[in-house]
């Protein structure tokens, strides 16, 4: 009996070391990025404490790896009773402070990025791989066009609607 207990204890110890050593797989999103006079789709990966923009669209059907690979420090609040996760991501880039304040719900993400406190970009999108970026570009472009048609103070309301209205791709 003692030998069996020692073997079980050894298996548990090795298993916990192996599990501890495994890296958590990042969660991937394809995000429309709507700025003052610009639009693109960016691919973001979120891990426990980092948000990386790994790829972007440089043309209607062209996805390229982001040479800068911007990395943000990522902090998320615990999921609330409705399943909403609020987050903040911050980095210093080119002598500016970039901060994204956002919300994740049911596989959709929205966020506002400020540059030194001023609105820079509006992000919105859903779970997806790099291979799916071209597929979401048209819908994301139309959302950006809608953002440019409304006053800035109405953007949070539009994003809340986007967040709550699942598209046919995420309603599975």
Q: What is the pLDDT of residue 21?
A: 53
**pLDDT > 80? residue 19:** no
Give the number of other Cβ atoms within 10 Å of residue 43's Cβ: 24
What is the per-residue pLDDT across 79-89, written as a single tens digit (0 to 9) for each? 999 999 999 99
Of residues 70 and 15, the one with the higher pLDDT is: 70
What is the per-residue pLDDT across 72-81, written as a single tens digit (0 to 9) for each? 999 999 999 9
Asked if 137 contacts 126 with a C-beta cutoff of 8 angstroms, the reply is: no
Please calculate the CA angle 168-171-172 and round it to the nearest 5 degrees: 115
Q: Which residue has the tokens 């669209």?
A: 57
Q: What is the pLDDT of residue 22?
A: 61
**pLDDT > 90? residue 166:** no
What is the per-residue pLDDT across 28-70, written as a single tens digit (0 to 9) for each? 999 999 998 889 999 999 999 999 999 999 998 999 999 988 8
Residue 44 in 3-state DSSP? strand
Of all residues in the chain, what percent are helix, strand and coil, respectively (each to 5)?
Answer: 30, 45, 25
Domain ranges of the chain: 24-164
Shortest CA distance to 45 belongs to which of 165, 169, 133? 133
What is the per-residue pLDDT across 131-165, written as a single tens digit (0 to 9) for each? 999 999 999 999 999 999 999 899 999 999 888 88
Q: Which residue has the tokens 């970009």?
A: 121
The whole-number average pLDDT for the span 13-32 is: 68
**pLDDT > 50? residue 117:** yes
Structure token pair of residue 71: 């990395």
Residues 24-164, CATH architecture = Beta Barrel (2.40)
Confidence band for 171, pLDDT divided at 50, 70 and 90: very low
**pLDDT > 70? residue 14:** no
Q: Is the dihedral of CA 122, 125, 129, 133 positive or negative?
A: negative
Question: Residue 4 to residues 1, 7, 10, 11, 18: CA-CA distances in angstroms?
Answer: 5, 5, 10, 11, 21
């Amino acid at each position: 009996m003692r030998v069996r207990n020692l073997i079980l204890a050894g298996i548990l110890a090795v298993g916990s070391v192996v599990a501890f050593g495994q890296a958590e797989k990042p969660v991937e999103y394809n995000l429309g990025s709507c700025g003052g006079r610009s639009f693109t789709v960016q691919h973001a990966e979120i891990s426990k404490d980092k948000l990386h923009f790994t790829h972007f669209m440089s043309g209607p059907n062209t996805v390229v790896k982001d040479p800068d690979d911007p990395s943000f420090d990522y902090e998320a609040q615990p999921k609330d009773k409705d399943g909403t996760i609020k987050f903040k991501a911050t980095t210093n880039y080119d002598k500016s402070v970039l901060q994204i304040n956002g919300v994740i719900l049911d596989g959709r993400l929205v966020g506002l990025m400020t540059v030194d406190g001023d609105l820079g970009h509006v992000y919105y999108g859903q779970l997806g791989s790099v291979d799916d970026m071209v597929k979401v570009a048209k819908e994301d472009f139309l959302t950006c066009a809608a953002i440019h048609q409304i006053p800035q103070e109405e953007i949070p309301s539009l994003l809340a609607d986007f967040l709550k209205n699942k598209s046919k791709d995420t309603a599975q």
